[in-house]
Structure formats: structure tokens, C-alpha cells
């Protein structure tokens, strides 16, 4: 094969390889653990504080969503909620801030999870859709099981309402504490999710959630432009080689 053909083949091959880099989707893994953007405290309702950075909005069917600092021990927890404490003493990693449905509103109210049934809504629609990986729930100590309702980009829904500790995808992270201070991770790995509604049978909190959003590499102007660029590069190399001879 002549040198000119070798150079042309190399340049075109490089251009085609470059095309593979354009238009390809890559996944951006996201974990929201509520330890940034908003400090826990009186009257701080959680709504869209994470939307700008993470593309998700929060809401509740019952009352406001607040943050609760789970890094406490015994009765030093605010709102008299020692069952929301996390850390080595409770068989878990410290979870920092957790998301709760606030029981009492108004002046002087401290963060305190609602005793009644309530729903957390996580809206991912501003991202288009996500691959939802898992969510961790803290302190499921009342009768009944949580319900997870996923809404997909095509408008269809899927409900999980009977997930026990023995089910695949459910992990009790501190087996010695199945009720108070319990921390469970629920793995789903569902694609094209635009919304998740999590309904707790009673009090409790969301410790974290993880999902993947798609990142798209910008498309090239045209395929031919890359091929032409490769061909021109090969021609330049040939001419330069001829001048050197």
C-alpha cells in the first residue's frame, strides 16, 4: 500500500473513531444525602433547594418537608426524636441531615417527624428522566410497609408496596435494630423515572437517594465535516512529506 493511501486511511479512521465520541450518552451518578444547601432548623421547608444543582424537587402530600440532624445520641436529639439518631452506637454510619415530614409548624417548632402516614415526592422531570438506583429510609418502626410509586417518562406507573427485609433489593443496614433507628436501603435500578412517591406507614425519614442522569456529548455539525477534516489532514501530511524529499 502506498504511503499516501496509508495516511489517508489513518486520517479517515481517526475521524470515524472521533465520531464515536460524539452523540454518546454517559451517566452522571448523583447521591443526595441532604448535607448541603440547607441547614436543619426551625421553619426551613425543603422544596426546590436541590433543583439547580441536582435537578430534583421535593414536596409532601401532608405537611412541609424539613431536615433533621441525625447526628445525636439519646435524648439530645431535637424534637424528642432519639429514634432518628444514626451513627456507630446505632449500628450505622452517621447519616447527618435526613429528610422528614415535619409534624408541628409555627413559631418555636423544632424539627420532629410526623407521626401519621405521609408521602414524600421526588420530581425528576426537569432532567427529562433518570435511572433511579436506590433510596434509604430511617426508623420504620410502625406497623405496615412503605409504598414506592414510580412514574415513568411514558406516563406509566409501577408500585412496590410489599417489600420486606427478606426481599431481594432490601437491605437492613443495622440488623440488630429492625425498628427504632433502623436504616434500610431499597434498590430498584429502574430507567426512565420522572417521579417517585414514597409513602411511609407512620413516622420516619429519608436518609439518602441515588440516581443517574444522562449526559450527552454535543453532536458534531455533520459527519462529512469530520471526514473532510481527516482527508485534509492526510493531504497536508503527504504534501509535507513530498517537500521534505
Among candidates 203, 35, 196, which has minimal Cα distance to 117?
A: 203
170-189: per-residue pLDDT in tens? 999 999 999 999 999 999 99
Q: Kindly report the number of other CB atoms within 10 A of residue 73's CB atom.
A: 13
pLDDT, residue 42, reads: 53
- Report whether pLDDT(3) > 90: no
68-113: per-residue pLDDT in tens? 889 876 556 766 688 999 999 999 999 999 999 998 887 678 888 8
**Strands annotated E in the chain:** 25-32, 57-60, 65-69, 97-101, 118-123, 130-138, 147-152, 157-160, 170-172, 183-200, 205-216
pLDDT, residue 242, reads: 46
pLDDT, residue 116, reads: 84
Mean pLDDT of 26-51: 79
188-230: per-residue pLDDT in tens? 999 999 999 999 999 999 999 999 997 655 555 544 454 444 4
Mean pLDDT of 131-151: 95
Query: Is the entire prediction scored with pTM above 0.85?
Result: no
- Report whether pLDDT(60) > 60: yes
Domains present along the chain, CATH in parentheses: 3-20+220-244 (no CATH), 25-216 (2.60.120.260)
pLDDT, residue 2, reads: 53
**Percent of the chain at pLDDT exceeding 70:** 71
More confident residue, 214 or 138: 138
Give the whole-angstrom CA distance, residue 138 versus residue 184.
Answer: 7
Confidence category of residue 37, pLDDT binned at 50, 70, 90: low
Q: What is the DSSP letter of 112?
A: -
Q: Which of 5-19, 76-90, 143-157 has the lowest mean pLDDT?
A: 5-19
pLDDT, residue 41, reads: 56
Amino acid at each position: 500500500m502506498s504511503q499516501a493511501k496509508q495516511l489517508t486511511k489513518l486520517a479517515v479512521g481517526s475521524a470515524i473513531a472521533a465520531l464515536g465520541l460524539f452523540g454518546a450518552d454517559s451517566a452522571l451518578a448523583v447521591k443526595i444525602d441532604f448535607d448541603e444547601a440547607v441547614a436543619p432548623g426551625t421553619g426551613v421547608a425543603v422544596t426546590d433547594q436541590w433543583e439547580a444543582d441536582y435537578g430534583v424537587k421535593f414536596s409532601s402530600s401532608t405537611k412541609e418537608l424539613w431536615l433533621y440532624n441525625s447526628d445525636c445520641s439519646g435524648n439530645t436529639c431535637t424534637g424528642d426524636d432519639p429514634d432518628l439518631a444514626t451513627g456507630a452506637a446505632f449500628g450505622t454510619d452517621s447519616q447527618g441531615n435526613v429528610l422528614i415530614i415535619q409534624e408541628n409548624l409555627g413559631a418555636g417548632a423544632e424539627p420532629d417527624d410526623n407521626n401519621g402516614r405521609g408521602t414524600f415526592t421526588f420530581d425528576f422531570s426537569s432532567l427529562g428522566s433518570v435511572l433511579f438506583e436506590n433510596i434509604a429510609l430511617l426508623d420504620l418502626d410502625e406497623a405496615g410497609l412503605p409504598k414506592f410509586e414510580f412514574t415513568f417518562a411514558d406516563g406509566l406507573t409501577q408500585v412496590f408496596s410489599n417489600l420486606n427485609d427478606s426481599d431481594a433489593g432490601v437491605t437492613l443496614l443495622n440488623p440488630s435494630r429492625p425498628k427504632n433507628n433502623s436504616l434500610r436501603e431499597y434498590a430498584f435500578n429502574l430507567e426512565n423515572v420522572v417521579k417517585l412517591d414514597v409513602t411511609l406507614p407512620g413516622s420516619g425519614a429519608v436518609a439518602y437517594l441515588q440516581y443517574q442522569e444522562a449526559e450527552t456529548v454535543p453532536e458534531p455539525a455533520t459527519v462529512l465535516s469530520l471526514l473532510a477534516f481527516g482527508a485534509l489532514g492526510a493531504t497536508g501530511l503527504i504534501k509535507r512529506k513530498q517537500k521534505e524529499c
